[in-house]
């Protein structure tokens, strides 16, 4: 069987959590592009983000992908329509799948969204959830990303920082909120820690897992009727980065939970 070629784009390494979730569910050839030379996207204008993201999307399309996943909250929130217009393959972003799953599992129709400053400022998740009839409180948690990249996944400092953020969110959010939506691709690595410090009634929705589910649905619909040997691992991975490949390899190994030995450097210019 010919496996699909899935392109995954992020401004850095956070989107590797989406790749990790997809690879656990879907046999495919994966091509991951991290625009590490130009991150963070969240401090840039929508026009700049669109220019960077569409350039990377076209690069991945030129590698022969069948499907493009925008595993970047800033790019999804600020540039998804322009990315969709720039390529001829189907495009899936991270916002809608996460919002859809949060809506499906919430009994009280109320959620807390934690994300970076840029994603909160875009209000993309708020709009998506409100469109599904939900109340939303958004909380920016800017310190969590550097703590995750430092490798402090289960560190007391990280736990204390998360407790402060979630305490502030709980005090400001609607009392009946029963979903915590992780709207940053770094945050899935903190799920065990967050589970310890959130109330038992709150469901944690991981936008990386939600996006993987959306991709699986698309792949299964296109592969329907084609036999696949589930006993064999036919997955393959290629990695592209626009900055230091050594730093990318180090972080990628941590985020993916598998050794990453080869990363190809790409210079898209401007």
Architecture category of domain 95-208 in CATH: 3-Layer(aba) Sandwich (3.40)
Helices (H), 143-228: 144-149, 156-172, 191-197, 207-223
Cα separation, 80 vs 94, whole angstroms: 10
Residue 270 in this model has a pLDDT that exceeds 70:
no
Residue spans per domain, the chain: 5-93+210-265, 95-208
Q: What is this structure's pTM?
A: 0.93
- Please tell me the predicted confidence (pLDDT) of residue 224: 67
Nearest to 54 by CA among 30, 28, 37, 78: 78
Percentage of the chain beyond pLDDT 70 is: 96
- Please tell me the predicted confidence (pLDDT) of residue 232: 65
Q: Which residues are catalytic?
A: 72, 184
Beta bridge partners of 236: 29
Lookup result for tokens 């592009």: 33
Burial class (CB in 10 A: 0-12, 13-18, 19+), 152: middle
Label residue 257 by pLDDT band (50, 70, 90).
confident
Interval 155-202: pLDDT, tens:
999 999 999 999 999 999 988 999 999 999 999 999 999 999 999 999
Residue 23 in this model has a pLDDT that exceeds 90:
yes
Q: Which fold has domain 5-93+210-265?
A: Rossmann fold (3.40.50)
Kindly give the pairing relationship between strand 264-265 and strand 179-182: unpaired
Judge whether 35 and 52 are in contact, CB under 8 Å. yes
Cα separation, 26 vs 219, whole angstroms: 8
Tokens standing for residue 183: 């709207």
In the 8-state DSSP scheme, what is residue 15? T
Label residue 42 by pLDDT band (50, 70, 90).
confident
- Please tell me the predicted confidence (pLDDT) of residue 18: 97
Interval 80-113: pLDDT, tens:
999 999 999 999 999 999 999 999 999 999 999 9
Mean pLDDT of the chain: 93
Measured between its terminal Cα atoms, the distance across the chain in Å is: 39
Cα separation, 116 vs 257, whole angstroms: 23
């Amino acid at each position: 069987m010919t496996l699909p070629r899935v392109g995954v784009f992020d401004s850095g390494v956070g989107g590797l959590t989406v790749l990790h979730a997809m690879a656990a569910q879907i046999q495919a050839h994966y091509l991951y592009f991290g625009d590490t030379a130009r991150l963070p996207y969240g401090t840039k204008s929508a026009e700049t983000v669109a220019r960077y993201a569409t350039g990377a999307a076209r690069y991945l399309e030129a590698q022969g992908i069948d499907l493009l996943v925008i595993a970047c909250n800033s790019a999804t929130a600020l540039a998804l329509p322009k990315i969709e217009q720039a390529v001829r393959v189907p495009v899936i972003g991270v916002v809608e799948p996460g919002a859809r799953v949060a809506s499906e599992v919430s009994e009280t129709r109320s959620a807390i969204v934690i994300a970076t400053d840029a994603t909160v400022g875009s209000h993309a998740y708020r709009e998506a959830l409100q469109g599904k009839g939900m109340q939303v409180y958004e909380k920016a948690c800017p310190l969590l990303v550097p703590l995750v990249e430092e490798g402090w996944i289960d560190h007391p400092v990280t736990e204390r920082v998360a407790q402060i953020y979630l305490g502030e969110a709980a005090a400001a959010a609607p009392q009946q909120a029963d979903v915590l939506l992780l709207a940053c691709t770094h945050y899935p690595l903190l799920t065990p820690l967050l589970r310890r410090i959130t109330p038992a009634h709150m469901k944690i929705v991981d936008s990386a897992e939600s996006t993987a589910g959306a991709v699986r649905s698309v792949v299964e619909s296109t592969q329907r009727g084609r036999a696949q040997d589930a006993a064999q691992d036919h997955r393959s991975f290629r990695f592209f980065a626009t900055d230091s490949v050594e730093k990318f390899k180090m972080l990628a190994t941590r985020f993916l939970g598998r050794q990453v030995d080869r990363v190809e450097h790409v210079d898209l210019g401007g």
